[in-house]
Amino acid sequence: MGEHCYWEGDEIQWRVYYLSLEYYMGRSLTNTMINLGIQSACDEALYQLGLDIEELEALEEDAGLGNGGLGRLAACFLDSMATLGMAAYGYGIRYEYGIFAQKIKNGEQVEEPDDWLRFGNPWEKARPEYMIPVNFYGRVEDTPQGKKWVDTQIVFAMPYDNPIPGYKNNVVNTMRLWSAKSTNNFDLKFFNDGDYIQAVLDRNQSENISRVLYPNDNFFEGKELRLNRVSCGPTLQHHQASGSVAQIVRTSSTLPTVALQLNDTHPSMAIPELMRILMDIEGLTWARAWDICVKTCAYTNHTVLPEALERWPTSMLEHILPRHLQIIYEINHHHLQEVAKRWPGDMDRMGRMSLVEEHGEKRINMAHLAIVGAHAVNGVAAIHSEIIKRDLFQGLLRDRFQNKTNGITPRRWLLLCNPTLADAVAEKIGEEWVVHLDQLTKLKPLVNDSGFLRIIQVTKQENKMRLAKQLEQDYGVKINPSSMFDIQVKRIHEYKRQLLNCMHIITLYNRIKANPGGSFVPRTVMIGGKAAPGYHTAKQIIRLICSVAQVVNNDPIVGDRLKVIYLENYRVTLAEQIIPAADLSEQLSTAGTEASGTGNMKFMLNGALTIGTLDGANIEMMEEMGRENIFIFGMTVEEVEELKRTGYDARSYYDKLPELRQCVDQIDSGFFSPNNPDQFKDLVNILMNHDRFYLFADYESYIKCQDEVNKLYQKPNEWAKKALLNIASSGKFSSDRTISEYGREIWGVEPSWEKLPAPHEPRETEDK
Ligand SMILES: *Cc1c(COP(=O)(O)O)cnc(C)c1O
């Protein structure tokens, strides 16, 4: 591992450390074989032994150490950094239990623990020789040599290294995941008191730090165990990441040799921790330490939803990390002096920009800490970056703000998951697109090539048949494979508006019932995703979708013109099976709420058309393909803001739109829950009285847009042209492009494109 470093010989040894509390890796076997170029060789070898490689692949557990987009982004970035030959490390936590397994029982989500390490993990290598002590609790002492953090309790951090192979470039990077391990002398008091058994039992308590992934997506839960984790993670990452810190200190003061990229604020305690090491251990002055810290750290923001922003109570920090809290206060002191210089006497602004929130329980605003402590702050799509520049810090430090539109790795999200389409593309334009995805534009002239359009259609049809067969096996539902596969898969969240999709389903149902002999474009609507176990409304949304499915699927009048399927346990491996079979991708978030989305990109790359709002990366997708190739509906960010200003009145839409009214009345009256008519009263109450995401305001535009989708689906040739133009326009959304931009514009690292495989090199090393 790490044998190839393309900066060897340079005077400065560059290292990028990507710090993330989540890595949503999925399976590794197929991806590893593909990136090493040995897939056909392995396939052939197993065949000779009378074995089927697909059966072997199906035995691997998903590494589900993430919740959704943020964790999957980190996984795509690791693939791209290795493929671009960057000397980059992914640092994270080795949760013993990943994201829970979702079962749907009687139309309800039930969570089961994800015991993914039960049969061992063949990809990891424990490195006990690099084990590190991490301090917690204790108090700070003033000494003649400066501040000293004493009487701490120690938990060890055991690193496990996982290989991250680049695509056919002889590079293998490392993902290092840390596991909490108790010390031998944890709580000696009990030993001395003679309670040996109690002492041994308590030992294991500290190992809870890395026991289980918190299953919240876009939601902050201020639990003490989590603070231990967000402080423990970066702490241990530091001794290492700084390679060590002494290395940063020794080299030029203007140019740290290490870049730390913070994936959201979750690892933002890295900032005070780096300061602590530089000052308390290395003996640097505040000014010198701060200069290095800011030049080393960069922060990626992933959301503007207020309920997702981390705000830790100072009382908790004081208890667990007293020295870090002191440092944060000092950072704030220097920061507010700058604010006062720039806006003299503006006390209101001081309050808004402070790292410390004084109203109610005193808290630290971690996004403010990350912005002040980083030389670069980026959003994850153009519109999101504009919004955070304007709202999150209101003008201060404006020159730090950048945009880095998210991307996905074309290795997993086309080559691996859709080999038939990948082959069809390679047949026409060669194989360079695998590492230079913008080469897909070469497909554009083929919109008039009826032979190629036919191949696109046939490929999609094959993928749909395979999925239909699988779903029939798993759920016993019969699916019409020539119906439109209309898919929305992502975490269940009010802002993602699965309820809007559900209201469309109900509207279609009502139309069929009102006109049983009418002609309708057959649809199979599939919705999948996990709800956070404590998120009551999200769980109700799942129940409603399942209840609607129950009614629709069993109504003989409807027949196979409409089917609704809840896809159980959506995860990386299921995404790989579903996305290649999609005709229509649903991206319905209220404008201004979805930072980027990456699911949208996976669908586009696999030739699904998108119905979506002008939100996140949907906007840039539209710019790439042209507005005529995507189904855009609903309010713009400006229109949403205007509606918020003038006041949103859900009832006015309810009164005005008869189809909307019928659908809401049905949900309200128990039409879909005859055994429990009150089942969905809470949902209706939210929609009518407290809807932060303005579903009714976009309902009419959404339904009309879906009518347009139906019209186009009846012209298969026109549809296939647009599908092709989607694929051909998706080059921008490669995570290779995203990572090259991070390299050039944040880390100061040039990606080594010349190390990528030459286009003429075979994709497989095939011995025939
Ligand atoms: C890509 C992906 C996501 C992110 O989907 P969005 O639609 O962008 O929220 C979530 N979960 C899994 C398993 C994914 O592969």
Query: Which tens digits make up the pLDDT trace of 620-663?
Result: 999 999 999 999 999 999 999 999 999 999 999 999 999 999 99
Q: Where are the alpha helices (DSSP H) in 520-597?
A: 536-553, 572-578
C-alpha 563/C-alpha 28 separation (Å) is: 34
**Angle value at C-alpha 409, between 406 and 415, nearest 5 degrees:** 150
| Beta carbons within 10 angstroms of residue 617's beta carbon | 29
Atom of ligand 1 nearest to the CA of 408: 1
Separation of alpha carbons 535 and 543, rounded Å: 13
The Cα–Cα gap between 746 and 127 comes to: 31
The ligand 1 atom at the shortest distance from the C-alpha of residue 571 is 13
Given a cut of 60, whether residue 763 has pLDDT beyond it is no
The ligand 1 atom nearest the CA atom of 598: 8
User: Nearest residue CA, atom 8 of ligand 1?
Assistant: 597
Lowest mean pLDDT among 10-19, 542-551, 676-685: 10-19
Amino acid at the residue 599: G
Q: Ligand 1 pocket test: which of 416, 501, 571, 598 has the largest number of ligand atoms within 8 Å of its C-beta?
A: 598
Tell me how far the alpha carbon of residue 109 is from its chain's centroid. Answer: 21
Residue nearest to atom 7 of ligand 1 (CA): 599
CA of 489 to the centre of ligand 1 (A): 7
Ligand 1: atom nearest CA of 596 is 8
Taking the C-alpha atoms of residue 529 and residue 498, their distance in angstroms, rounded to an integer, is 10
Nearest CA to ligand 1 atom 6: 599
**Residue 73 CA to ligand 1 centre (angstroms):** 9
Instruction: Please state the separation of Cα 392 from the chain's center in Å.
Output: 20
Atom of ligand 1 nearest to the CA of 529: 11
Residue 563 Cα distances to 467, 575, 577, angstroms: 15, 20, 19
Residue-averaged pLDDT of the chain? 92
Probe residue for ligand 1, chosen from 25, 302, 408, 490 as the CB with the greatest number of ligand atoms within 8 Å: 490
239 versus 28: which is more confidently predicted? 28
Atom of ligand 1 nearest to the CA of 69: 4
CB 703 within 8 A of CB 504: yes
Query: Which pLDDT tens digit goes with each residue over 212-269?
Result: 999 999 999 988 777 777 766 555 555 555 444 445 555 544 446 889 999 999 999 9
Alpha carbon of 72 to ligand 1 centroid (Å): 7
Cis, bond preceding 652 (omega within 30 deg of 0): no
Q: Which pLDDT does position 754 carry in this prediction? A: 47
Decide: 668 and 680 in contact? Cβ < 8 Å.
Answer: yes
Question: Rounded distance, CA 427 to CA 430, Å?
Answer: 6
Per the structure block, which two tokens stand in for 18? Answer: 């990507």
CA-closest residue to ligand 1 atom 15: 572
Amino acid (1-letter code) at residue 695: L
Q: What angle do CA 82, 84, 85 make, to 5 degrees?
A: 65
Got the DSSP string for 695-732?
HHHHHHHHHHHHHHHHHHHT-HHHHHHHHHHHHHT-GG
Residues in the chain, overall count: 768
Rounded CA gap, 765 and 312, in Å? 52
Which structure tokens are listed for 668? 């309200």
Q: How far is the CA of 593 from the centre of ligand 1 (A)?
A: 15
Helix (H) or strand (E) holding 736: helix 735-742
**pLDDT tens readout for residues 740-754:** 999 999 999 877 654
Cα angle at 187 between 183 and 193, to 5 degrees? 135
Q: Are 270 and 22 in contact (CB under 8 A)?
A: no
Residue 86 to residue 736: CA distance in whole angstroms = 11
Task: State the pLDDT at residue 489.
Answer: 98
Separation of CA 136 and ligand 1 centre (Å): 35
Q: What is the CB neighbour count within 10 angstroms for residue 249?
A: 18
User: How does pLDDT run across 560-582, given as a tens digit for each residue?
Assistant: 999 999 999 999 999 999 999 99
Q: What is the pLDDT of residue 1?
A: 33
- Three-class secondary structure of residue 42 per DSSP: helix
Q: Beta strands of 395-434 (E only): which ranges? A: 401-403
How far apart (Å, rounded) are the C-alpha atoms in residues 291 and 248? 11
Q: What band does 507 get if pLDDT is binned at 50, 70 and 90?
A: very high
Judged against a pLDDT cut of 90, whether residue 452 lies above it is answered with: yes
CA of 315 to the centre of ligand 1 (A): 35
Q: Give CA–CA dist 636/456, Å, rounded.
A: 33
Pocket of ligand 1 (CB under 6 A): 68-69, 72, 490, 570-572, 575, 597-599, 602
Residue 516 · residue 556 · CB < 8 Å? no
Probe ligand 1: pick from 102, 572, 605, max atoms within 8 Å of CB?
Answer: 572
Q: Which among 284, 177, 322 is positioned nearest to 237, based on CA atoms? A: 177
Cα 733 to Cα 415, 437, 597, 605: the distances in Å are 15, 8, 11, 9
**SS3 annotation, 262-305:** EECCCCCCHHHHHHHHHHHHCCCCHHHHHHHHHHHEEEECCCCC
* The predicted structure's pLDDT at residue 227: 79
What is the structure's pLDDT at 229?
Answer: 75
% of the chain with per-residue pLDDT over 70: 91
Q: Radius of gyration over alpha carbons of the chain, in Å?
A: 27
Rounded Cα–Cα distance for residues 20 and 41 (Å): 35
All domains in the chain, ordered by first residue:
15-27+62-406+744-754 (3.40.50.2000), 413-733 (3.40.50.2000)
Residue 65 DSSP SS3: strand
Which residues are annotated as catalytic? 302, 490-491, 496, 598, 602
How far apart are the CA of 22 and the centre of ligand 1, in A? Answer: 13
- pLDDT, tens only, 145-191: 889 999 998 889 999 999 999 999 999 999 999 999 988 665 556 55
Distance CA 268, CA 263 (A): 9
Query: Angle at the Cα of 757 (from 752 to 760), degrees rounded to 5?
Result: 140
With H, G, I as helix, E, B as strand and everything else as coil, classify residue 321: coil
Name the residue among 122, 124, 130, 18 with its Cα closest to residue 76: 18
Distance CA 157, CA 134 (A): 7
> Distance between CA 411 and CA 3 in Å, rounded?
23
> How much distance in Å is there from the Cα of 714 to the middle of ligand 1?
29
> Residue for token digits 């998903």?
62
